[in-house]
Amino acid sequence: MDEGLTVQVLEQIAGLEDRPRRVLILDSVLDDTLKLNAESIFNRAAADGDEIELRTV
């Protein structure tokens, strides 16, 4: 939930061996592009069989 979130960090989260089932991100640190990237990255993880739900707060 920290500011400075990057696509690389999101990819690392999605690439964890023990992936989280839900990721919470502060809405204030997401611009539209980063949110779309996060959804895309987590959807790719779901294609591997591990769904990651993205929630913004």
pLDDT value at residue 10: 92
pLDDT value at residue 27: 87
Q: Which residue has the tokens 């809405």?
A: 27
* Banded pLDDT at 3 (limits 50, 70, 90): low
CB 37, CB 10: distance < 8 Å: yes
pLDDT value at residue 30: 87
CB 24, CB 51: distance < 8 Å: no
pTM of the predicted model, to two decimals? 0.79
Element (H, E) at 56: strand 53-56
- Could you report the per-residue pLDDT of 4-51, keeping only the tens digit for each? 789 999 999 999 888 899 999 888 888 899 999 999 999 988 877 778
pLDDT value at residue 29: 87
